[in-house]
Amino acid sequence: MNDCLFCKIAAGEIPSTKVYEDDAALAFRDIAPQAPVHVLVIPKKHIGGFSDIEGEDDAALAHLWRVAAAVAKSEGIAQSGFRVVSNCGKDAQQTVSHLHLHVLGGRALSGEMA
């Protein structure tokens, strides 16, 4: 999508600190981290958010979760524990309309949800 920040990051038009990339997914560090490890995992295909998921996205979404698990391992937080969050819509304070998983860890997390 032309005017989407995360599409531009996925296309390499806006820089990011990548921690994982393949044909379908990208993981990069959040610019305003809420925890010592705060990585965003996105599909390269534009999906606006959870409400926009369709049947054809099943494989891409399963892949996204597997990438999130792999990122937790590679970031060294799989044993200590981590949180995976996806905000959808206004009340959840989603600020970027491109589906993303927040992977948070590296400290004891309380009630905050990215």
Q: Which residues are catalytic?
A: 100
**In contact, 103 and 38? CB cutoff 8 Å:** yes
Question: Where does residue 14 fall: left (phi above 0), alpha (psi -120 to 50 degrees), or beta otherwise?
Answer: beta
Least gap, CB of 98 to ligand AMP (angstroms): 8
How distant, in Å, are the alpha carbons of 16, 25, 30, 48, 60 from that of 36? 17, 22, 10, 27, 27
Nearer to ligand AMP, 20 or 55 (CB): 20
Nearer to ligand AMP, 34 or 60 (CB): 34
Least gap, CB of 68 to ligand AMP (angstroms): 14
Structure tokens given for 27: 């993981």
Q: Which stretch binds ligand AMP (CB under 6 A): 50-58, 64-72, 74-82, 86-94?
A: 86-94
**In contact, 89 and 49? CB cutoff 8 Å:** yes
Site map 38..57 versus ligand AMP, x via CB under 6 A: --x-----------------
Applying CB under 6 A, the residues found at the interface with ligand AMP are 5, 14, 16, 30-32, 40, 87, 93-96, 114
